[in-house]
Amino acid sequence: MGSLQTDALDFVNADGFQVNPLDPEEFRRQGHMVIDYLADYYRDIHKYPVRSQVNPGYLRKRLPSAAPNDPEPIEAILGDITHDILPGITHWMSPNYFAYFPASGSTAGFLGEMLSTGFNVVGFNWMSSPAATELESIVMDWLANMLKLPECFLFSGGGGGVLQGTTCEAILCTLTAARDRVLNRIGREQIGKLVVYGSDQTHCALQKAAQIAGIFPVNFRAVATTREDAFALNPAALRDVVAADVARGLVPFFVCPTIGTTSSTAVDPVKGICAVAKEYNMWVHIDAAYAGSACICPEFRHVIDGVEMADSFSFNAHKWFFNNLDCCCLWVKEPSALVKALSTSPEYLRNKATESKQVVDYKDWQIALSRRFRSLKLWLVLRSYGVANLRNFLRGHVKMAKHFEGLVAADGRFEVVVPRTFAMVCFRLLPPKPEESGKANELNQRLMEAVNASGQAYMTHAVVGGVYMIRFAVGATLTEERHVTKTWHLVQKQAGEVLASRT
């Protein structure tokens, strides 16, 4: 980032004026450079340590303390990305990335985002760019059909789909709609009586949404799960907690079953939970953030049986559906509940289309006013790969996880902690001697850190039922079976060292 006086001249035309920052030919030139930069990045990505190895504060030491006064050329910026940014990136796109839930970006997802960014429309209502709204509605119907969602979630059935950024937003919107639906009935001043339900395995998104929406923190219930139920929310246990709350004069209003919990991909029983919800008139939001996409495969669709009894359903297309971040698909049965809770109608947005009531104005289905043209990437993913291949991609990930599960099971030093359901294996190293059982968690902590510190693979952990386990989540787009096998050998090698060095 030295002096760039000479290069800076590139940015100034013959009259000494700055070239327009959206000059088409300059856009073309620089755009091609960045495409090549990223294509090379994907080609060479296996060479980088998967988990970044930097220490806190590394970047401030490398960058100047103020923005430059004069322009700097793209060549210099890309050089700095290589030297200063890449070392600080944890490579979510790496084939050796098995942490959290992987982010399954793809070429089509990327191109869709490029087109959206390039058109740069702000699609708050139909009028502001009709194609942005209409394509979203169409693609959400396509996807609903792929998932075999009941007609009541489609526009033709009086429901509808909308793209949110994340599950957190989807839950906040539906929870707010549910809150207002009940408060409009029983009175705003009853807000302190409203109770929200999940399990102790439910994603923190639910708690956060409840906090933001003003639900009293004491009225958030994380129903305890057990190993016997494979850490799924037990409807009978839910009913007990709900009944106790009702007996105390509280008002249950929202329950959030999960399809594929973050810790162990547990599947909460939708039918049983919906039955309890029906008794108590609660809104059911199904959070299928991770595993919802698997429902396009007939062999997995049963995990959401009963969805017709729910009020809303969401999954993250940026998680296991080849869309780049961010893209959360939300369907609701009763869009008017969202609109009542989230709409505002200032004069400066008034227009004939809205007044005709023939159009959807998605601003009233979400938190923000402005919104990106996210459906383009979903459309490109669906079309570029096709339904048959998308199923095969997902099955490929499941097959690789199964392969890893087999490798774990074949090595007596390890155990698979909870049954594998989708493309994640939860395993741990067993303490060699019975008297070491108290040190099992520490042992696995050390094993995981050793694997991650090697830079050759990255995985993260969870604790369920007091057991620390390593989560091996297949889903990064570039992962092939050879990466899985090689990573297993790495785990075995590190386990040998950890076992040898224990005291």
Rounded Cα distance, 171 and 183, in Å: 18
User: Looking at beta carbons only, is 198 or 235 nearer to a second copy?
Assistant: 198
Q: How far is the CB of 359 from a second copy (least distance, A)?
A: 5
Strand-pair partners of 287: 258, 314
493 φ, ψ (degrees, to nearest 5): -65, -45
Distance of CA 270 to the CA centre of its chain: 20
User: Looking at beta carbons only, is 266 or 274 nearer to a second copy?
Assistant: 266
Helices (H) and strands (E) in the chain, counts: 15, 11
User: Looking at beta carbons only, is 231 or 306 nearer to a second copy?
Assistant: 231
The 8 Å CB, 24+ separation contacts for 139-144 are 139/375, 139/378, 139/379, 139/382, 140/329, 140/331, 140/375, 142/382, 143/329, 143/378, 143/382, 144/331
User: Looking at beta carbons only, is 215 or 408 nearer to a second copy?
Assistant: 215
Q: How far is the CB of 207 from a second copy (least distance, A)?
A: 5
Q: How far is the CB of 263 from a second copy (least distance, A)?
A: 6
Q: Are residues 459 and 77 in contact, defined by beta-carbon separation less than 8 angstroms?
A: no
User: Looking at beta carbons only, is 208 or 278 nearer to a second copy?
Assistant: 208
Q: How far is the CB of 324 from a second copy (least distance, A)?
A: 5
* Radius of gyration from C-alpha coordinates of the chain: 25
Q: Are residues 497 and 450 in contact, defined by beta-carbon separation less than 8 angstroms?
A: yes
Neighbour-count burial for 231-262, b at 16+ CB within 10 Å, e otherwise = bbbbbebbbebbeebeeeebbbbbbbbbbbbb
Evaluate the CA torsion angle 260, 336, 333, 239 in order and state its sign.
positive
Q: How far is the CB of 278 from a second copy (least distance, A)?
A: 26
Q: Are residues 180 and 341 in contact, defined by beta-carbon separation less than 8 angstroms?
A: yes
Question: Please, how many CA atoms are within 13 Å of residue 411, restricted to the half-sphere of its CB?
Answer: 20
Q: How far is the CB of 98 from a second copy (least distance, A)?
A: 14
User: Looking at beta carbons only, is 45 or 490 nearer to a second copy?
Assistant: 45
Q: How far is the CB of 271 from a second copy (least distance, A)?
A: 27
User: Looking at beta carbons only, is 239 or 316 nearer to a second copy?
Assistant: 316
User: Looking at beta carbons only, is 76 or 237 nearer to a second copy?
Assistant: 76
User: Looking at beta carbons only, is 311 or 361 nearer to a second copy?
Assistant: 361
Rounded Cα distance, 170 and 338, in Å: 11
User: Looking at beta carbons only, is 176 or 487 nearer to a second copy?
Assistant: 176
Question: Which burial class, exposed, middle or buried, applies to 482 when counting CB atoms under 10 A from its CB (0-12, 13-18, 19+)?
Answer: exposed
Q: How far is the CB of 458 from a second copy (least distance, A)?
A: 10
Q: How far is the CB of 374 from a second copy (least distance, A)?
A: 11
By DSSP bridging, strand 312-316 and strand 283-287 are parallel
Q: How far is the CB of 127 from a second copy (least distance, A)?
A: 8
Rounded Cα distance, 207 and 254, in Å: 12
User: Looking at beta carbons only, is 476 or 495 nearer to a second copy?
Assistant: 476
Q: How far is the CB of 399 from a second copy (least distance, A)?
A: 12
- For the chain, the farthest-separated pair of C-alpha atoms sits apart, in whole angstroms, at 82
Of the candidates 233, 286, 232, the one whose C-alpha atom is nearest the C-alpha of residue 264 is: 232
Q: How far is the CB of 417 from a second copy (least distance, A)?
A: 14
User: Looking at beta carbons only, is 23 or 411 nearer to a second copy?
Assistant: 23
Q: How far is the CB of 17 from a second copy (least distance, A)?
A: 9
Rounded Cα distance, 163 and 173, in Å: 12
User: In this structure, what token pair is assigned to residue 435?
Assistant: 């008297």
Angle at alpha carbon of residue 136, lines to 135 and 140, rounded to 5°: 115
User: Looking at beta carbons only, is 239 or 471 nearer to a second copy?
Assistant: 471
Rounded Cα distance, 399 and 474, in Å: 9
Residue type (1 letter), 407: L
> Distances in Å between the alpha carbon of 163 and those of 143, 298, 326, 437?
12, 24, 9, 47
